[in-house]
Chain A
Amino acid sequence: MALSHLAASASRSSSLLKPLSSALSLRRSISGDNSPLTVETSVPFTSHQCEAPSRSVETNPKELLTFFRDMALMRRMEIAADSLYKAKLIRGFCHLYDGQEAVAVGMEAAITKKDCIITAYRDHCTFVSRGGTLLEVFAELMGRQAGCSKGKGGSMHFYKKDSNFYGGHGIVGAQVPLGCGLAFAQKYSKDETVTFALYGDGAANQGQLFEALNISALWDLPAILVCENNHYGMGTAEWRAAKSPAYYKRGDYVPGLKVDGMDALAVKQACKFAKEHALKNGPIILEMDTYRYHGHSMSDPGSSYRTRDEISGVRQERDPIERIRKLILSHDLATEKELKDVEKEVRKEVDDAIAQAKESPMPEPSELFTNVYAKGLGVESFGADRKEVRATLP
């Protein structure tokens, strides 16, 4: 369990100070405030070819409450997606992120919307942390016009360019060179921003990842490769796929950091550290030790290659939302009831968004032929029977 320090006067207290000290007689409102708080991460960082950052993380009540709310929202959203999939309102692939929420919220807390994020197909929560709405999520999942890709992408292809979220990719590992390319363009444009390219333990063995890492290191690109290690590449445990599952070390000449991915504050600290590093020294790898409660996708029960005890064990010991709840309660930043009310609120938000998404119509038939090109040049395109269905591309 994390030891907490209370910085009542912006100086670090000794570790003997109990959380419920006299300073806490001031009850803070549920919305929190920005007064600084220092929390220790669950475990220290392990580093490769670099100095690990401190395990003392600066935060504040507002941030912790935001973490709680955002993660609760994401959790509820993914569970609702599970139900929609079973009701056959979502088709095809649906890869759920519940359990991994701390990575999305912790990362966002360390960066700006000018920094880029790119990930693979387990992208619903990352999209939301980049500013995407629940309506856009559910409508896209159900293939409706109000979806973030107007129904034409589906679960694996969420994008939000105006906040530098570049998807949403179906081909395992492809997003890593793409992410290094985003970093290249940021450097080319002299934007002083960085790119986080997320990938899983399954993708960590892809050759193109090492090709892109080599280029990033040679050219000093501000690229941060983030391995979301949930320990299973679909049904294959990491030790069956990787000769060396120490993914933070796999960069060889590229520094790396191993992070408790279930601890949002550790994630935040690591991402902050990585951003500073990448802007000065080029690429760095972050390995987030995380866990997914669902199977690989909705087609995978997730229990043929892992025991139910393992899953419930992680849920009990390491759940990211529970960690923040305990932190908030132990610092008396909110009451249990207030937190439960937040959970009720987000549940209602999710339900409302689903209802609204269901109202959204499916795309017009003419949308079959839009966006094939950015500049269609008025060329012809065809439906299945070209004598019946033709269109001019705008």
Chain B
Amino acid sequence: MLGIVRQKMLEQSLKKIPPAVSVLRSYSSAAKQMTIRDALNSALDEEMSADSKVFLMGEEVGEYQGAYKITKGLLDKYGPERVLDTPITEAGFTGVAVGAAYYGVKPVVEFMTFNFSMQAIDHIINSAAKTNYMSSGQISVPIVFRGPNGAAAGVGAQHSQCYAAWYASCPGLKVLAPYSSEDARGLLKAAIRDPDPVVFLENELLYGESFPVSDEVLDSSFCLPIGKAKIERKGKDVTIAAYSKMVGYALKAAETLEKDGIDAEVINLRSIRPLDRSMINASVRKTSRLVTVEEAFPQHGVGAEICASIVEESFAYLDAPVERIAGADVPMPYAANLERMAVPQVEDIVRAAKRTCYRSVS
């Protein structure tokens, strides 16, 4: 009923809320800055504009403009047939989205946080990830599952888990974790264009952060390759591999380490599955030392997989054991001091890097 009223209003209304690109602040000669929020919004806008099969589905993505405003303005621009507000029924709407992808349209499903994706995980794994294989290529599933992942601030145990390792262990899925605005734009566009199911792990605390973006990044054809990591900072003494928010922490740790004469190479994984093993191994063969950083629970995690890859491929090159910095092995506490202890801090990364260099950490 409301949809019909809105449809009529839409026919007369102009774009009331401007798309993200015009929100760019450009300085006279410096690079343009863009927030992650605007990067994601503009990527969705451009991909929806380029391909009429792309549509959005999720709780509050339409009239509310997105729980975290990532989908702001898109309902007004594309209408209620392409931006769909769902009831709070993850299992149901995720199944509906996967079924739509079977038919050949291209859903982008938003989970308000990935904690809620657990209600729909059967559809992500059994209905989406495995179907191309089970059908021997008859039915591909061009779907994207996106939303904030990992710890936020003070939201407690049920709202803070990182699902990178869970989804990345599953063949048939692709799992991406952007860090910068360039990552956000390029990887989301790649995910939407990809014919396979992609889990796109954002970070709530990064949504408001600004990053410089070149004209190339701002172009609507911009796309990043899936499965390739990026060297954010070149170095020669120790490799620090991280994803999402922890890339920023790793870069800060590298600045601190530089003052102590340790030149760290920081790798932004970008892609958890496929994991860019060759780049990580090439880096470790150069530096001989590795620290992995993740916010997630440590056991059976991304860092463990990277460590195994190094041991298998580059054991002879290691001058020190691989160090693993991760979230604490406990459900996320609420109290601020405990919460701080439950996630990695910059000093943890610095300390681990020093350990690999056999430097005193006191």
- Do they bind each other? yes
Residues of A within 8 A of B (CB): 116, 118, 149-153, 157, 159-161, 166-171, 174, 176-186, 188-189, 207-208, 210-212, 214-215, 218-219, 370-375, 377, 379-381, 386-387
Q: Which residues does chain B contribute within 8 Å of A185, judged by CB atoms?
A: 99-105
B135's nearest neighbour on chain A, judged by CB, is A159
A209's nearest neighbour on chain B, judged by CB, is B92
- How many A-B Cβ pairs are below 8 Å? 159
In B90-108, the 8 Å CB interface with A consists of 91-105
Q: Which residues does chain B contribute within 8 Å of A219, judged by CB atoms?
A: 84
Q: Which residues does chain B contribute within 8 Å of A118, judged by CB atoms?
A: 99
Say whether B38 faces chain A, with CB atoms less than 8 Å apart.
Answer: no
Say whether B260 faces chain A, with CB atoms less than 8 Å apart.
Answer: no
In the bound complex, do residue B133 and residue A372 qualify as a contact, i.e. CB atoms below 8 Å apart? yes
Q: Pick the interface stretch among B58-66, B120-128, B345-353.
A: B120-128
In the complex the two chains form, what is the Cα distance from A371 to B141 in whole Å?
12
In the bound complex, do residue A177 and residue B99 qualify as a contact, i.e. CB atoms below 8 Å apart? yes
In the bound complex, do residue A176 and residue B134 qualify as a contact, i.e. CB atoms below 8 Å apart? no
Q: How many B residues have CB within 8 A of the partner chain?
A: 48
In the bound complex, do residue A374 and residue B122 qualify as a contact, i.e. CB atoms below 8 Å apart? no
5 pairs from A and B in contact (CB 8 Å cutoff)? A149-B136, A167-B131, A178-B98, A178-B123, A214-B92
* A177-B172 contact, Cβ under 8 Å, with A188-B55, A372-B133: no
In the complex the two chains form, what is the Cα distance from A251 to B97 in whole Å?
21
In the bound complex, do residue A159 and residue B139 qualify as a contact, i.e. CB atoms below 8 Å apart? yes
Q: Which residues does chain B contribute within 8 Å of A379, judged by CB atoms?
A: 227, 274
Say whether B194 faces chain A, with CB atoms less than 8 Å apart.
Answer: yes
* A371-B105 contact, Cβ under 8 Å, with A208-B91, A211-B91: no
Q: Which residues does chain A contribute within 8 Å of B226, judged by CB atoms?
A: 377
Say whether B183 faces chain A, with CB atoms less than 8 Å apart.
Answer: no
In the bound complex, do residue A177 and residue B137 qualify as a contact, i.e. CB atoms below 8 Å apart? no
14 A-B pairs besides A159-B138, A183-B99, A374-B196 with CB distance below 8 A are: A149-B135, A152-B136, A174-B126, A178-B127, A185-B102, A188-B100, A211-B92, A212-B96, A371-B132, A371-B137, A372-B171, A373-B172, A375-B195, A380-B277
Q: Which residues does chain B contribute within 8 Å of A181, judged by CB atoms?
A: 95-103
In the complex the two chains form, what is the Cα distance from A180 to B96 in whole Å?
6
Q: Which residues does chain B contribute within 8 Å of A370, judged by CB atoms?
A: 136-137
Q: Which of A170, A374, A377, A386 contacts B126 (CB 8 A)?
A: A170
Most chain-B Cβ atoms within 10 A of its Cβ — which of A149, A153, A177, A207? Answer: A177
Q: Which residues does chain A contribute within 8 Å of B136, judged by CB atoms?
A: 149-153, 370-371
In the complex the two chains form, what is the Cα distance from A328 to B93 in whole Å?
46
In the complex the two chains form, what is the Cα distance from A174 to B201 in whole Å?
24
Say whether B140 faces chain A, with CB atoms less than 8 Å apart.
Answer: yes
Interface 1/0s, chain B 214-232, versus A by CB < 8 A? Answer: 0000000000011100000
Say whether B299 faces chain A, with CB atoms less than 8 Å apart.
Answer: no
